[in-house]
Amino acid sequence: MNMEKNVGETLGQFNDSDLTVKLLSAMYSVIPFSPGFAFYNSLEGAVQRYGGGAPQMAKAQEIAASPEVQQAVWMAATLDTSDQLIAGYAGVKNLFSFFSSNSGEKRTFEADNQQALDAALKATGLAFMIYRLYPGGVTEKVTQFKNTKAGQEAAIFFALGEVALPFSDNLVESGGNLVSRLMNNPNIDLSGKFGQFVGAEQFNQAKEMMGQLTAPLDGVLEQAKQYTGPVIQKIQSYLPSGGGAMNIADSATGVAATGVDLMPVWTFLGARLAAEACAMRAMS
C-alpha cells in the first residue's frame, strides 16, 4: 500500500468555486475566533499566507517532499474515502445526516455507535497527521498545530462537523469534555479499526498524540458550540438538495481520479494543514 501523497498535487485539485471550499468558507465566516479563511491551491499559497517569499518556498518544498509530510496528506485523503475502511462516513456525510435525519432520532454516541466510531477515527487521523507534520515531542507538536491557521480551521471543523452537529443531544446533556468522552467510549474499538489499517506502531504514535490533543479539541468545541445555530443557517444552502445527497457523499472515493468536487473536506483541510506546517517550519 502506498501511504504517500503529494501536498501540491492534492491542493491543486481544488478551486475556489468547489462546493467543499464554499461550505468551509461559509462555516468559518460565522465563527469569530476563526483565523480568517483564505483560499489557495498550492504550496506557494500556504507560504504566502505566512508572509514568506522565494527562500522560504524553496525550504517548504524540501520539507513537503519528505515521507512524513506525504504520509500526513495520504491520511487526510483516506479519511474521506469509505472504501479505505477507516471512516464509516465519507466526506461531510455527518453534516448530511444532520439535515436528513428524523427529528425524533436521538443524537448521542450511544444511539449511533458507528457514527461515534467515525468521529473518533477522524480525531485519530488528525493526531496521525500532527505527529508526522511537526518536529519535537508530542507537547511541542500540539503547540505548533494550535499555532497553525489551517490547524485551527481543522479543529473547528472537527468540533462542529464531526461532534457538535452529529451528537447535539450529547452536547446539550454534557457538562464539557465531550471529545474526551468520545475518545474514551468503551464501545469504540479504535485499535482494531485504525491500528490494523496503518500498523500498530503508527497507531500507538497517533494514540500518544491524541492524549495531548483531546483537551485542546474540547476547548475548541466549548468555544464553537454556541455557534451551531448560525452555522446551520449559513451552510444549509450549500448542501446538495434532494434525496441523492447521501449517495453523493458515498461517491467521494473517485474525487482524485475524476477531478469532480464531491465535498472531500478532510482531503482539503489535511492538505492545507500539511502545506502550512511546511511553511511554518520553513519560516522558523
d(CA 43, CA 12): 9
pLDDT of residue 18: 87
Query: What is the reported pLDDT for 254?
Result: 33
Residue 27 lies in a domain: yes
Contact of 160 with 46, CB cutoff 8 Å:
no
pLDDT value of residue 97:
59
Q: Which pLDDT value is given to residue 55?
A: 95
Q: What is the pLDDT of residue 164?
A: 87
Flag whether 2 is in a domain.
Answer: no
Quote the number of domains for the chain: 1
Residues 6+ away with beta carbon under 8 Å from 67: 4
Q: Are 71 and 258 in contact (CB under 8 A)?
A: no
* C-alpha to C-alpha distance for 216 and 146, rounded to whole angstroms: 8
Decide if 3 contacts 201 (C-beta within 8 A): no
Cα separation, 223 vs 237, in Å, equals 24
CB atoms within 10 A of CB 177: 16
**Alpha-carbon span 119 to 109, nearest angstrom:** 10
189 is a domain residue: yes
Q: Is residue 232 part of a domain?
A: yes
Residue 253: its pLDDT value, please?
A: 34
159 is a domain residue: yes
φ, ψ dihedrals at 161, nearest 5° = -75, -30
Tell me the C-alpha distance between 235 and 86, whole Å. Answer: 26
Q: What contacts 44, CB < 8 A, 6 or more positions away?
A: 57
pLDDT per 10-residue tile (average), the chain, 284 residues: 86 91 92 97 98 96 97 91 52 58 64 79 95 97 98 96 84 78 86 79 93 96 92 77 40 34 81 98 94
Q: Check residue 102 and give its pLDDT.
A: 53
Residue type, 49: R
Domain containing 179 equals 7-283
Specify if 1 maps to a domain.
Answer: no
- The verdict on residue 123 lying in a domain is yes
